[in-house]
Amino acid sequence: MRRGSAHAQRRRPARAWESRGGPPAPPPPCVQSSPSARPRPASLSGSSSIGRRCLFLLRGLCSSPVASMAPRRRGAGLRLCATVFLLGMAFCKGFVEDLDESFKDNRKDDIWLVDFYAPWCGHCKKLEPIWNEVGLEMKSIGSPVKVGKMDATSYSSIASEFGVRGYPTIKLLKGDLAYNYRGPRTKDDIIEFAHRVSGALIRPLPSQQMFEHVQKRHRVFFVYIGGESPLKEKYIDAASELIVYTYFFSASEDVVPEYVILKEMPAVLVFKDETYFVYDEYEDGDLSSWINRERFQNYLTMDGFLLYELGDTGKLVAIAVIDEKNTSNEHTRLKSIIQEVARDYRDQFHRDFQFGHMDGNDYINTLLMDELKVPTVVVLNTSNQQYFLLDRQIGSAEDMAHFIRDILDGTVPAQGGDSILQRLKRIIFDAKSTIVSIFKSSPLMGCFLFGLPLGVISIMCYGIYTADTDGGYIEERYEVSRSEIESQEPGEDSKEQEPSDGATLGPTVQEPKDVLEKKKD
């Protein structure tokens, strides 16, 4: 998958290919980061011109001459600068529509790029300024895609209808179709996604000049060559599923460059790594699965998001874990070895392996639940969380290729996995890492979060313990008093029986009144 943030030329809309001969010259460094400083089409609205003037005015007021003013004038200038800045922020927000329940019935007439958010979500708050820039950029370039946002907590029924399960969720809605965005949350990548998905599913390449232009603009793209056939139907089905990741084109045999050799027609090709590869149904299997595997370049700069996406390909990932700030020979040597294997042994390993390097070992340590020494090489199986560590010295690309062959043969033991024991270990490791990170970032917050519950639990345990002790003491006293009463009862009975033996020993018991009256009668 092409990483849009690394290519400034991808900021142009996909529909402007025919009208432009090549990528525009980059703006000066002082204005390069400003969205309003990029080239605009002739159809730019008056509101966009106002916004550009506000941004230039803001830059001028906040420059160094303001600092050299007198205190009173400098304070007035800073207040004006802040006012213009707030106006600019409000201007950017004006291109992002707040959607309500009426959106469900009115959306099908247009193409919408919608951010489903929650007001309490921290990631949503980070995305908000980026989303405002996306709305401004899409409006300024004349894109047919409308940008909006919806509070998914207030309109939960509409959000659930679109399959929103987390926040923020970015979707492009095109008729009855809804496409999920899963890329990095940067302005360039989001805009590139909107251009790709909002356009035609299969884009035609009518000429060699257009083909060369697409080849310069995209690092990875797929082309169907030929007429109507069952293969084209499969190609269309795969494109409808994977258009969120890459571009799909169609061309005739005459448009393809002369260095492309086709053994049979029709054919599906992928162009990447300054070469091309032809789909073979017998060796590569399902077309959609092949496209999903081949949508990445053979060598990549790895990060956590990219490793997550590579899990869908079923490939093993060979990574050189290095410190890019360290220019020692060992760090650069391992990176060069991995690059050489990816380039020279591609025909042997491209179906099973993906290659790349990663800066630092923090993310790898969380995956492996272990501490890796840098530099090193690790091979990850992202589909089942297994990994392979070096068991030998790697001095050349041939040594690395031999190590990879041993992994494929099963002679190198796999570590990790997704067994029950490993899952329990993962839970303990994640809990420990979370606690440690909280105490490192904010000790007071950590003491409050963990000290307060522990204090409450301690008080409850103490109350339960003391309640049991008092109850036992009461029961013991009750048992003692009962035993004393039972020991006194036999003595009292004997005292009551002594007068019955002799009539003269005590006073007689008085009979009841009714008995005396009967005797008198």
Active-site residues: which are they?
A: 121, 124
CB atoms within 10 A of CB 159: 22
The set of residues, in sequence order, having a beta carbon less than 8 Å from that of 251 and lying 6+ positions away, is 204, 205, 206, 211, 223, 224, 225
Torsion sign over Cα 139, 145, 148, 149: negative
The set of residues, in sequence order, having a beta carbon less than 8 Å from that of 519 and lying 6+ positions away, is none
CA dihedral 377, 383, 384, 390 (to 10 degrees): -10
What's CA 194's distance to the chain center, in Å? 19
The set of residues, in sequence order, having a beta carbon less than 8 Å from that of 198 and lying 6+ positions away, is 111, 143, 144, 145, 172, 174
Using omega within 30 degrees of 0 as the cis cutoff, is the peptide bond preceding 27 cis?
Answer: no
At position 331, the amino acid (one-letter code) is H
247-251/203-204 β-pairing = parallel
Q: Is 290 exposed, middle or buried (0-12, 13-18, 19+ CB in 10 A)?
A: buried
Task: Please give the angle made by the CA atoms of 148, 149 and 154, to the nearest 5 degrees.
Answer: 140
Considering only CA atoms, which of 252, 277, 279 is closest in space to residue 268? 279
